[in-house]
Amino acid sequence: MALPGLLIIGAQKCGTSTLHASLGSHRQVCFPMNPANGKTIKEMNYFGNLWDRGHDWYASHYQDDSRIALDSTPNYLCDIEAHERMAQVLPDARLIVSLRDPIARAYSQFNHYSQHIEVTRTWDWRRPGESLAANIQAELDEPKRRWYGLLARGYYERQLQHLLSFFPRERIHVMIMERWIADPDRYFDELLAFADLEPQELTKNAVHMRAYTVDPLDRDLDRQLREIYRPHNERLFEWLGESIDEWN
């Protein structure tokens, strides 16, 4: 029984499902599996909502010790408690973070949640069923705990900086979604090198692509969000040592 050596920890709506499927196509990687029915699982959520189930429960989902196990749970990045828990249980794990223009990410999350209001009603938005602008303003008035929220999930630098309290920088691999979508061969090769996996052609099929059914992003709201995210993005660029021109 082998615990995960690789974790895709976020961010939500930044292509984590596609990365999960792509990495899972590698011959050296295996997914967690439900011991009751043998079905594979993407998001274990152990270091977040399911922490109380205990270490033995988590370990029971990883039966293949001949390959590197993968846990892909995008909530780990924005969950402040998950950072310490991951370090406690998996101190040598390699962490993969995919980021996307935070405005596009927030809009995608709003679209997703709006399509499933009854399910997402208790999730991290403030005004289920109301406009994106109303939800953003409500979150500004009353921020969500940790970095949950349509807005706060896009404060990437804060989350990465906190993660550094528990993992060394060389254990964290940041990918920019706009780049790896445009040039998967290059960035997937870099991903395999980081993960210490043998070179191999990975599948590149987009997973969980969701049609947009909400109103287009309002120009005034876009302008407001750009001002909100500007200092956060600038700190992220400094953290990364480069600007992300695709976000402009």
Domains, the chain, ranges and CATH? Answer: 6-247 (3.40.50.300)
Q: Which helix (H) or strand (E) holds 229?
A: helix 219-240
Is-above-0.85 flag for pTM?
Answer: yes
1 has pLDDT over 90: no
For the stretch 204-216, pLDDT in tens is: 888 878 899 999 9
Provide the terminal-to-terminal Cα distance of the chain, rounded to the nearest Å: 46
Tokens 């998967």 identify what position?
184
- What local confidence, expressed as pLDDT, does residue 2 receive? 78
CA torsion sign, 16 to 22 to 25 to 28? negative
Question: Which backbone phi and psi does 114 adopt, to 5 degrees?
Answer: -65, -30
Tokens 């109380």 identify what position?
52
Query: Distances in Å between the alpha carbon of 62 and those of 4, 23, 144?
Result: 8, 16, 33
* Nearest-angstrom CA–CA distance, 180 and 1: 32
Average pLDDT (92-107) is 98
For the stretch 30-76, pLDDT in tens is: 999 999 999 999 999 999 999 999 999 999 999 898 999 999 999 99
At 59 the three-state DSSP class reads helix
116 has pLDDT over 90: yes
* Nearest-angstrom CA–CA distance, 1 and 66: 9
For the stretch 134-182, pLDDT in tens is: 999 999 999 987 899 999 999 999 999 999 999 999 999 999 999 999 9
Which tokens belong to 83?
Answer: 């950072």
* Nearest-angstrom CA–CA distance, 73 and 7: 8
